[in-house]
Amino acid sequence: MTGPHRQEVADDDGRADVYDAATEVLRESAGPELDEARRRPDPTPEDDELHMGDLAGAGAIAVLRRGIAVTPELRQGLLLTVLLAILTAAGKLALPILIQQVLDRGVRGEQGFRPWFVYGASAATAAAVVVLYLLARATYLRLVRATEASLLGLRLRSFAHIHKLSVAEHSDQRRGALVARVTSDVETLAQFTEWGAVAWIVDNTIIAGAFGVMLVYDWRLGLQTMLLFAPIAVLLPWLQRKQLAAQDQVRTDVGDTFSEVSEAITGAPLVRSYGLEERRRRRLTESIERQYRSRLLAARYSAATLPLADVFGAIALAGAVVTGVMWGPGWGLELGELVAFLFLIGLLLNPLGELAEIVDRTQIGIAGWRKILGVLATPIDVPDPQPHQSVELPTGPLSISAKGLRFAYRDGVPVLHDVDLEIPAGRRVAVVGETGSGKTTFAKLLCRLADPTGGALLVGGVDLRHTTADARQRAIRLVPQDGFLFDGTVGENVRLGRLEAGDDDIRAAFHSLGLGWWLDDLPLGLDTPVGERGTNLSVGERQLVALARAQLGNPGLLVLDEATSAVDPETERALTEALARLAEGRTMVSIAHRLSTAEAADEVIVFASGEVVEHGSHEELVAAGGVYA
């Protein structure tokens, strides 16, 4: 296993802990919405009308239907929101009708000027305007609440779904792109749902209502106006399709840029030490330029869309004036009706112009929604069994049995070939092998971060595919090579091993490993901040925290990716003692990079080219003179 596969596997540390930690951070602000989002099952292929393979070429309506289907928060009260929006739009037609009534019945009617009619009609219209304001406000507030709840749910479901995917799936995904899915893409959707969605309803209702009133006043002049506006109905869908494709490319390029920026920042020490500044700068520049070009193309379509309403509105207005003045009297068109006609055309300009802008905003939102749905539609290739079919792992030390175990990544390159081995419960085993031999992949399979592509892997006599995530997290724990820590305190990071643990439990975990002295030397004890990714601590100190976290969880199987591979001799001695205590009463599998780790193990398993080629004690393998020796 080489290249990006190896890096992804080495970096994929404790995804269950990541999810639990982030969940706790969000719980206070999310409240019941978070619990609802976690309880909601992931879509199954049988439930989906739109699968991942169909998303790339799906149209806006298909994406919209699918998006609403997987966002129940947005569906709640949707009918009420639509009704309020329609009433809001209908209220805007009151002013042109008032003008017509005042002119034709209050000023130029058979009874001449009727002041009380004019005052009464004006008062009624003023009241309608107030009601219109209250309706518009209620509509907006209702939609914002629904939108924020739906965005919370989308983020949580996307986040949870990403952490349910296997190592093989993560190897295919660039992490910056996944970050873009749950950040910038969700924000583009917010801009659409909080404004664009209501605007579609209001503006289309105004357009339909205005044309309807025109036809009532005079069908001939109304028909002329509709014909003059008709080219918009042809040009707008064509521009919409072009713009949707352009905006979809923009969202893809934004994700790529996120990845490049993330690599440039997180890899800054390596970039500087190897003099790779120019190379990284060139890659980042190319990524930004691709995003620039795709944004520019999308902007060209926007620039062609926005002036449409003004151009055809001016033509329609001029046509109505000429036709109304020349032939209106002969058609029986009253002055008030003609003036109202002109006001109705003016009323159309804003929604038609806004409609062009809405199309732009909608394309951005739909493109972002498509990307999010693509994440949610990614099949979970390590699914939990149904509750009635799940099997609990036994307590205490766990045995390991691999029978014909095979594994390959999505590129089809095999990593493990027909691995057969037996590890009795309570044994301390070191797994060794050259880089790319498959030992780290074997460790990930033990934690079910991926499923075998062939054969079976039994832990405690149970096939891991028959266990739930909660059961595995209680019984099996992984300590990654870099001792990954979250930004917070020492105590908060250790508590991830058992979320309900108190400070006394955490201190007891340190002392049981013989690390009480280190905890006592910290300036703030458990409240000592560790910094982002634990940068306030040394590599060895991060490992001490990681071991205490594992001890607090009290698993029956502990998997370590060489906890002593990058520490100084003094810290190695502390870690060695802690590891010896940590191994008591449980099975321990260590991915060993140092000879001292193999020497201290009860048994050594040697991997080469994805196969187990030797196993036995350190002394036996040295005497055998084989690969290990």
Chain mean pLDDT for the chain: 77
Q: What is the DSSP letter of 449?
A: S
The tokens describing 273, both together, are 């030490």
Burial class (CB in 10 A: 0-12, 13-18, 19+), 450: buried
The conformation of residue 459, written as its DSSP 8-state character, comes to E
- Measured over the CA atoms of residue 489, residue 490, residue 492 and residue 496, the dihedral's sign is positive
Do 33 and 153 meet the contact criterion of CB atoms below 8 Å apart?
Answer: yes
Q: Among residues 320, 355, 132, which one has the least CA distance to residue 233? A: 355
The pLDDT of residue 565 is 53
Q: Is the pLDDT of residue 6 over 50?
A: no
162-172 pLDDT per residue, tens: 777 765 566 54
Q: What is the pLDDT of residue 527?
A: 92
The CA distance from 377 to 50, in Å, is: 8
The packing angle between helices 335-376 and 197-217, to 10°, is: 150
CB 192 within 8 A of CB 365: yes
Q: Containing H/E element for 612?
A: strand 611-616
pTM as predicted = 0.59
Phi-psi region of 616 (alpha: psi -120 to 50; beta: other; left: phi over 0): left
Displacement of CA 520 from its chain's centroid (Å): 40
Burial class (CB in 10 A: 0-12, 13-18, 19+), 142: middle
237-241 average pLDDT score? 78
Cβ atoms of 366 and 192 within 8 Å: the answer is: yes
* pLDDT score at 401: 92
Residue 585 in 3-state DSSP? coil
Helix (H, G, I), strand (E, B) or coil at 60: helix
Q: What strands, in cross-sheet order, belong to the sheet with 400-408?
A: 414-423, 400-408, 454-459, 462-463
Nearest to 577 by CA among 494, 516, 620, 501: 516
More confident call, 525 vs 200:
525
Residue with more model confidence, 305 or 408: 408
Assigned token pair, 303:
């620039």
Name the residue among 414, 405, 419 with its Cα closest to residue 611. Answer: 419
- Position 316, amino acid: A
Question: Does residue 448 contact residue 380 with C-beta atoms inside 8 Å?
Answer: no
pLDDT at position 458 is 92
Residue pair 432/484 in contact by the 8 Å Cβ criterion? no
Q: Which of 476, 318, 459, 332 is nearest to 391 (CA)?
A: 459
Contact assessment for residue 301 and residue 242, using Cβ atoms and an 8 Å cutoff? yes
Report which of 187, 197, 160, 202 is spatially closest to residue 34, judged by C-alpha positions: 160
Q: Mind listing the pLDDT tens digit for each residue in 474-512?
A: 888 888 776 678 888 999 999 988 888 899 999 999 999
Residue 532 structure tokens: 């982002």
Partner residues linked to 245 by β-bridges: none
Structure tokens of 49? 């009308």
The yes-or-no verdict on residue 380 having pLDDT over 80 is no
Q: How confident is the model at residue 35 (pLDDT cuts 50, 70, 90)?
A: very low
What mean pLDDT do residues 552-561 have?
Answer: 88
Q: What average pLDDT does the segment 94-111 reach?
A: 72
**In terms of pLDDT, which residue wins out, 582 or 43?**
582
Decide: 451 and 469 in contact? Cβ < 8 Å: no
